[in-house]
């Protein structure tokens, strides 16, 4: 499955990004109200705009599915996303890493993480933070493969078991 990682196009792809974010939120099984999730999706690109120090990347399957006669239906499918936003002058925060269930195990998550780290470096950040849930074991393994480590909490959350991770590549 050929997968391309690319920047989201706003406002043209608002509805597609919204669908991915909705699938992400549903997959968590927690209420994201404390993160102002509804405001976030209502204001795309919002904190993920380049003018705000952020970016939003999409994973897109390119090429036709040989099991489907409608080549156009599968020529450009969005199967995942990841974003970063400004956190401090030296830190950005990875947000909304999501790969659709049918694309899991294909390396798409790894491609998204590698691409978002590269974007962060290009934007001049010295490190990246993220939060995740304890039950997201596969995601935590992926983050560790890229060098993320457990860090102290960097914001208050009502989810007591939130796992905070960070990766610093310069200014150590």
pLDDT of residue 31: 64
User: Cβ distance 142 to 111 under 8 Å?
Assistant: no
pLDDT of 146 higher than 70: yes
94 forms beta bridges with: 84
**Domain region containing 46:** 3-126
Condensed to tens digits (0 to 9), the pLDDT of residues 93-119 reads 999 999 999 999 999 999 999 999 999
pLDDT of residue 34: 52
pLDDT of 5 higher than 50: yes
What is the tally of structural domains in the chain? 1
Q: What is the domain-level CATH number for residue 109?
A: 3.40.630.30
User: Cβ distance 53 to 65 under 8 Å?
Assistant: no
Average pLDDT, the chain: 88
User: Cβ distance 83 to 130 under 8 Å?
Assistant: no
pLDDT of residue 168: 98
* Mean pLDDT along residues 6-28: 90
pLDDT of residue 110: 98
Q: Could you give phi then psi for residue 104, rounded to 5 degrees?
A: -70, 145
* Mean pLDDT along residues 60-83: 68
CA distance 162 to 164: 6
Give the least confident one: 56-70, 75-89, 151-165: 56-70
pLDDT of residue 158: 81
| Assigned domain for 81 exists | yes
| Assigned domain for 143 exists | no
pLDDT of residue 1: 81
| Assigned domain for 42 exists | yes
| Assigned domain for 137 exists | no
Q: Identify the band that residue 75 occupies on the pLDDT scale cut at 50, 70 and 90.
A: very low
User: Cβ distance 21 to 78 under 8 Å?
Assistant: no
CA dihedral 160, 163, 136, 92 (to 10 degrees): 130
Q: Identify the band that residue 22 occupies on the pLDDT scale cut at 50, 70 and 90.
A: confident
pLDDT of 72 higher than 50: no
| Assigned domain for 73 exists | yes
| Assigned domain for 52 exists | yes
pLDDT of residue 36: 62
pLDDT of 71 higher than 60: no
Helix (H) and strand (E) counts for the chain?
A: 5, 7
Number of other CB atoms surrounding residue 16 within 10 Å: 17
């Amino acid at each position: 499955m050929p997968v391309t990682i690319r920047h989201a196009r706003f406002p043209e792809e608002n509805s597609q990004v919204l669908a991915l974010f909705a699938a992400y939120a549903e997959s968590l099984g927690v209420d994201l109200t404390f993160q102002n999730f509804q405001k976030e999706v209502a204001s795309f690109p919002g904190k993920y705009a380049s003018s705000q120090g952020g970016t939003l990347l999409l994973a897109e399957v390119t090429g036709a599915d040989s099991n489907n006669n409608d080549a156009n239906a599968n020529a450009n499918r969005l199967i995942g996303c990841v974003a970063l936003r400004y956190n401090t002058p030296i830190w950005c925060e990875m947000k909304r890493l999501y790969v659709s269930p049918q694309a899991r195990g294909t390396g798409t998550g790894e491609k998204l993480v590698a691409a978002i780290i590269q974007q962060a470096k290009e934007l001049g950040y010295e490190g990246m933070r993220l939060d995740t849930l304890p039950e997201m074991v596969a995601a935590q393994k992926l983050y560790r493969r890229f060098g993320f480590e457990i860090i102290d909490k960097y914001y208050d959350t009502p989810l007591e078991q939130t796992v905070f991770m960070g990766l610093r590549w310069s200014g150590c």
